[in-house]
């Protein structure tokens, strides 16, 4: 039996491709090594994009220099957030802690209610009770431990300080950075890519400001509804609703799976139905009135790509990735649209030349 003849396959790769692949591998390796530091820098840059339009607004209204406007806007916001945290954070976190610690009793109340008594001995009821017990046992009693600052205040302060000043220095120096970028681009290309920078900045800034405003409205609306219905955990439920509302598309649905059962266990079926109606009505108002008015077309992504982005960036960067998935995906979309613009123009011209069929 004769051996099979061997074939020689030669693969030719341009040096540019080799360099790009090698650079990508090195960048990924560097990210793996400096993971936490990269995350801090990422948050600082992201906040700078968020603050870009507020800084421009301050400059337009006051005539201040960019450095002064950036300093007043960023540090003023940081000071305001700190004051609000000192006044409101401890009571809000305490309310959420109490709600989670009472979760086993809440689930038990649902299992023994007339409407859901059939769940008592089923696998669903047992699993829900077991999960509630585990969640309750994992919640610390001390507020400082819940906040994660017990014995770790210096690290928290240093991280916040670093993020804040990365944001501030980038905002102050963005004009010089744009000038440096334009200096290495061919005539015509500078306007193109600086235009892309403007689109990315507007998308991120409007999205972030809109999310904060809309999540605050959602938290207040649903927390106030819970309070009017007699819930003793109204503050906690409002905080949960506001936080979950920052997750696009599915956040409000996730909130309903917490708020409605909580009201059912505490105040009965009627209160739960009222809360469900309020959530459904509010969601329609948010989707059709608040989001278009506040965010406009800051991001123009389909629901499918939003869910994919939340899943992928959440797996990559954790909670931060899930929260920033939409503007990151919108940024990628802007760059892809710009890079494929010439190709799409050629396709459109070819289709126009063929005429209607």
If one compares 245 and 181, the residue with the highest pLDDT of the two is 245
pLDDT tens track for 262-319: 898 888 889 999 999 999 999 888 888 887 777 666 677 777 777 888 888 877 777 7
How far apart are alpha carbons 156 and 153 in whole angstroms?
5
How far apart are alpha carbons 24 and 18 in whole angstroms?
10
What's the average model confidence in pLDDT over 11-23?
72
Residue 151: pLDDT band (50, 70, 90) is very low
Per-residue pLDDT at 3 exceeds 70: no
What's the average model confidence in pLDDT over 106-131?
66
Asked whether 225 and 278 are in contact (CB, 8 A), the reply is yes
Structure confidence at residue 156 (pLDDT) = 72
**Comparing C-alpha atoms, which of 137, 145, 150 is closest to residue 100?**
137
Highest mean pLDDT among 78-82, 140-144, 189-193, 293-297: 78-82
Q: Give the residue carrying structure tokens 């769940």.
A: 119
Structure confidence at residue 76 (pLDDT) = 92
Other C-beta atoms within 10 Å of 195: how many?
A: 12
What's the average model confidence in pLDDT over 190-202?
82
pLDDT tens track for 159-195: 888 888 899 998 988 888 888 877 777 777 778 888 8
pLDDT tens track for 279-294: 999 988 888 888 777 7
**Comparing C-alpha atoms, which of 334, 313, 317, 336 is closest to residue 325?**
313
Per-residue pLDDT at 148 exceeds 70: no
Read off the pTM: 0.74
If one compares 27 and 71, the residue with the highest pLDDT of the two is 71
Residues of the chain with pLDDT > 90: what percent? 15
Structure confidence at residue 19 (pLDDT) = 76
How far apart are alpha carbons 104 and 130 in whole angstroms?
8
Question: Considering the chain, what is the average pLDDT of its residues?
Answer: 79
What's the average model confidence in pLDDT over 203-209?
84
| 39: Cα separation from own chain's centroid | 14
């Amino acid at each position: 039996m004769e051996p099979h003849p061997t074939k020689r396959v030669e693969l030719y790769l341009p040096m540019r491709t080799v360099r790009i692949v090698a650079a990508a591998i090195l960048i990924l390796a560097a990210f793996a090594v400096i993971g936490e530091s990269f995350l801090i820098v990422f948050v600082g840059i992201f906040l700078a994009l968020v603050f870009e339009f507020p800084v421009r607004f301050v400059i337009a209204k006051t005539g201040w220099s960019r450095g002064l406007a950036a300093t007043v806007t960023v540090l003023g916001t940081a000071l305001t957030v700190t004051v609000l945290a000192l006044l409101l954070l401890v009571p809000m976190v305490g309310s959420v802690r109490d709600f989670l610690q009472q979760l086993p009793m809440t689930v038990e109340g649902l299992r023994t209610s007339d409407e859901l008594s059939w769940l008592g001995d089923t696998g669903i009821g047992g699993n829900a009770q077991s999960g509630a017990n585990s969640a309750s046992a994992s919640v610390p009693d001390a507020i400082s431990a819940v906040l994660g600052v017990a014995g770790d205040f210096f690290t928290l302060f240093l991280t916040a300080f670093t993020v804040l000043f990365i944001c501030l220095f980038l905002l102050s120096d963005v004009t010089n950075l744009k000038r440096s970028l334009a200096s290495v681009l061919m005539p015509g290309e500078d306007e193109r890519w600086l235009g892309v920078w403007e689109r990315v900045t507007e998308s991120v800034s409007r999205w972030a400001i809109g999310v904060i405003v809309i999540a605050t409205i959602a938290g207040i609306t649903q927390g106030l509804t819970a309070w009017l219905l007699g819930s003793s955990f109204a503050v906690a439920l409002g905080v949960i609703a506001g936080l979950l509302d920052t997750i696009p598309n599915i956040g409000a649905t996730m909130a309903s799976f917490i708020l409605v059962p909580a009201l059912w266990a505490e105040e009965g079926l009627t209160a739960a139905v009222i809360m469900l109606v309020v959530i459904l009505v509010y969601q329609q108002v948010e989707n059709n009135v608040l989001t278009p008015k506040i965010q406009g077309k800051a991001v123009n992504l389909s629901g499918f790509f939003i869910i994919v982005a939340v899943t992928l960036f959440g797996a990559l960067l954790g909670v931060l990735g899930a929260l920033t998935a939409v503007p990151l995906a919108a940024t990628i979309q802007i760059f892809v649209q710009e890079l494929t613009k010439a190709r799409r123009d050629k396709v459109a011209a070819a289709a126009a030349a063929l005429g209607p069929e």
